[in-house]
Amino acid sequence: MTSLNPKTYDAAPSRKVAFLGLGVMGYPMAGHLALAGHEVTVYNRTAAKSKAFCEELSKSAKAPVSQADTPRAAAAGADMVFCCVGNDDDLRSVVLGPDGALAGMAQDAIFIDHTTASATVARELAAAAQELGIHFIDAPVSGGQAGAQNGMLTVMCGGEPEAFERARPVALAFARAVTLLGASGAGQLAKMVNQIAIAGLVQGLSEAVAFGQRAGLDMEAVLGVIGKGAAQSWQMDNRGKTMIEGKFDFGFAVDWMRKDLGLVLDEAKRNGARLPVTALVDQFYADVQQAGGTRWDTSSLITRLK
């Protein structure tokens, strides 16, 4: 399977789970759940993707895999329902309503949402789930497409401790760290902190590389040196060389980053946080979009400086 790199899975009781959304993140995440021995039912808005998933995983999964026509049907009988879709509206569409997941879930089941969405929608859906006796955990992830494929995502969670402790061993099928950070919405707020930090780092690295190139330096050699000191970062280690080479097809796209930064800036308006650098970098990403780089990865900020 080209989008999934199997790993050694921790021992965890086998569960009946559903996964809603088989995009570049959801497909390998659901795949790891199947390979870890959980019975997986998938739903995707484009049914062909669900069919392809089942055909591929049926050869290697340790438990049955199946597809459903609606989120409700996928969630029926599941101990846990995982989800990774595009935005707040997409999330509401698969959770709420007569065909939504909550309509098919049993009391005491757990909905774990890996969408990067607003803290507001996380609290809204948690309240809707609570009325039905269902647990809701907002659990956005960091690590990008490679992290999903390798089963090495970092998961930031908000919700009830008891439900979290039940969900955590299952989520470790596709993660290296799953951490509860507070009540509903805390996971989404933590993901916003993550994106604020990344935005500033990528812009700083872009300026450093562009400056060094203008100065005539061998930037691969320079990064090799400064990467052993205080300037070291994940971005430098993983995107420095590709930035130098002008390659920008390594996962997390500019369109997605702008969506995330929009969530950040909306939340900052509500809580009064001052984010001048983040707001500026958001506009720089808008420049990249206008230059045709909507699907380039986030390191393409350097193209503005060329």
| Residues assigned a catalytic role | 191
| Dihedral in degrees, nearest 10, Cα atoms 110, 112, 118, 121 | -30
Instruction: Return the structure tokens found at 296.
Output: 């380039």
From edge to edge, which strands make up the β-sheet containing 153-157? Answer: 141-142, 153-157, 175-180
Give yes or no for a contact between 159 and 126, defined as CB atoms under 8 angstroms apart. Answer: yes
The CA distance from 53 to 1, in Å, is 9
**Which bin fits 253, alpha (ψ -120 to 50), beta or left (φ > 0)?**
beta
Q: How many residues does the chain have?
A: 306
The CA distance from 282 to 276, in Å, is 10
From edge to edge, which strands make up the β-sheet containing 135-138? Answer: 65-67, 39-43, 16-20, 80-83, 110-113, 135-138
Give yes or no for a contact between 187 and 137, defined as CB atoms under 8 angstroms apart. Answer: yes
β-pairing, 153-157 vs 141-142, is antiparallel
Place of tokens 């009540």: 183
Nearest of 95, 103, 89 to residue 132 by alpha carbon: 103
Find all residues with CB under 8 Å of 60, minimum gap 6, and list them.
1, 6, 34, 35
The CA distance from 257 to 298, in Å, is 7
Residue 135 exposure: Cα atoms within 13 Å on the Cβ side: 22
Q: What is the DSSP letter of 104?
A: H
Q: Which amino acid is at 271?
A: N
